Structure 1
Amino acid sequence: MFDKSYIEKVREEKEKWEKLYESLKERDIKFVTDSDIPIKKLYTPLDVKDKDYMTDISFPGMAPYTRGVYPSMYRGRLWTMRLFSGHGTPEETNKRWKFLYKNGETGFSAAVDALTFNGIDPTEPDAAPEVGTSGVPLYCIDSLFALTEDIPIDKISVALVVEPFTSAPVCAMYFNMAKMRGYDIKQLMGTTQNDILTMTVGYIPYKNSP
């Protein structure tokens, strides 16, 4: 990306800078990224002198996506902003979601109750007291209808925060609800959790760890 004479000039100037730097003391800490990758004292064109712009960097929205996955990035739209929300009944959470949507939220993150999260039948004798106590209960497709009533789910991202063992049935109910309302599921946006690591080390390791 740079001609040889320019690179050589940068190299010479960097050597001068390094002498100045060495005369000063660094803080006694380890300079690394969150992934424990060492951070150099300084980055210059020398670090990318052998890179090909189109192959290694390219434009936003084009492979290898170094500069982002969308051509317009945040000039086109901001990142999704979603609050973890869900309480009481699906109808109550629906009211909350409408309020959040009206006030600028661009994505929903469904906080479900412990029974939905763990796939426990709410009709079990010991389960009743837990219904809706830590999030919204989503036990059947009617719950999904109530949760999303009058919400344009083809225009807003919905994250169904459940565990790997319940992500398939909850997503299936969501997709069928959308189809019954006339949506093409290709229009839907959102995610679910199929991350067993969440369960084995983060949620209840004493129960799920191998």
Structure 2
Amino acid sequence: MRRIALLIVVAVVVSAGCSGVTNQLDDSAPDGSSGGDGAAGTTVDDAFLPFAFERPGTYTYETYEKDAGTGTIVWDVQSVDGENITMRGSFTHDGKTEERTATFTREEALVQVAFLPGGEYASMTMFSPSMNGVYGNDFRVGNTWTVPSSKGTMTYEITGTKTFAGIECYNSEIRVNGSVFTDACYSPDHGTAMYGVIYDEDGTKVREMKLVDYERN
């Protein structure tokens, strides 16, 4: 049942694409900018693109799920050769460890990582379909933009910077009709998130993934 749900999530991610929604920024800024502190448009340095890894490295995350407890996910990015990435993923939970190595292109990464051990955590927290609204956008603190949602207005805001395992990232908060639904902290330099959390309608944390260690290979 869990794998079926994951397949649905991956299908939504793929159909949504990774190109961002810069054409749907908050119309309150007359020049087309996001209405925050930054200038209009997006530059190479401050835009987030998923899995734009520039170098090998090992990322270790702690996971939490309300009904399943805690675990550990390790992403060992073994090589980055142009558009091709080789990554070994492992997931330790309830005393058991699964691991698998895969090679894929950046374009395939969102789907391929979802099927590495523990990949559902990434697909449903840091890279959930709702987070597609951050991809390709300007990550300067204070910027905010909105996109249409089946549940009403979805607002994204870069609320500040945080540091996890020595990596600084931009915290992106998502609100649906004014209530916080999820937030995640993205590093454009690393092409991934350092942190991601999902809340239920009552504001209770139901799922979390947090970087606790990073080693540059």
When the two structures are superposed, what TM-score results if normalisation uses the length of structure 1?
A: 0.21
Task: Choose 1 or 2 for highest CA Rg.
Answer: 1
More strand by share: 2
Question: Would you tell me which structure has more helix in proportion to its own residues?
Answer: 1
TM-score normalised per structure 2: 0.20
* Relative contact order higher in (CA < 8 Å, ≥ 6 apart): 2
